[in-house]
Amino acid sequence: MILRDTERVLVVERMLVGHNKKEGFLKVSSVLTNRPKTKLLVDGGDPEETLRIKSLIGFVDGQTTNPSLIAKNPDIQRRLASGHQLSEQEEKDAYKKIVQSISPLVGDAGVSIEVFADLDSRAAEMLAQGQEMFTWIPNAYVKYPCTHEGLRAAEMSVQKSIRVNMTLCFSQEQAAAVYAATRGSKEPVYVSPFVGRLDDQSEDGMDLVKNIKKMYEGGDGHVHVLAASIRSINHLLCSFFLGAELATVPSKVLQEWAAAGFPRPDKDFTYKAIDAKGKPLKPIPYKELDLNLPWDSFDLAHELTTKGIQKFVADYRSTLRRSA
Ligand code: E4P
Whether the pLDDT of residue 323 is over 60: the answer is no
User: In this structure, how many other beta carbons lie within 10 angstroms of the beta carbon of residue 220?
Assistant: 11
Nearest one of 151, 150, 166, 170 to 302, comparing CA atoms: 170
Distances in Å between the Cα of 133 and the Cα atoms of 50, 224, 235, 284 are 20, 21, 30, 35
Sequence spans of domains, the chain? 1-34, 36-317
**Cα separation, 226 vs 126, whole angstroms:** 21
Does 3 or 315 have the greater pLDDT score?
315
Does 23 or 179 have the greater pLDDT score?
179
Q: Is the CB of 311 under 6 A from ligand 1?
A: no
Query: Rounded to the nearest 5°, which phi and psi values hold at 264?
Result: -130, 155
Average pLDDT over residues 272-280: 92
Q: Supply the pLDDT for residue 20.
A: 41
Question: What DSSP assignment string belongs to 39-72?
Answer: EEEEESS-HHHHHHHHHHHS---EEE--HHHHHT
Does 180 or 5 have the greater pLDDT score?
180
Mean pLDDT for the chain overall: 91
- Looking from the CA of residue 167, the nearest atom of ligand 1 is 2
Q: Is the CB of 65 under 6 A from ligand 1?
A: no
Q: Confidence band (pLDDT; 50, 70, 90) for 276?
A: confident
Whether the pLDDT of residue 21 is over 60: the answer is no
What three-state secondary structure class fits 193? Answer: strand
Average pLDDT over residues 300-320: 96
Q: Which helix (H) or strand (E) holds 190?
A: strand 189-193
**CATH number of 36-317, picked from 3.20.20.70, 3.30.70.3270, 3.40.190.10, 3.40.50.11540:** 3.20.20.70
pLDDT digits (tens, 9 = 90+) for 199-242: 999 999 999 999 999 999 999 999 999 999 999 999 999 999 99
Nearest residue (by CA) to ligand 1, atom 9, is 229
Q: Supply the pLDDT for residue 207.
A: 98
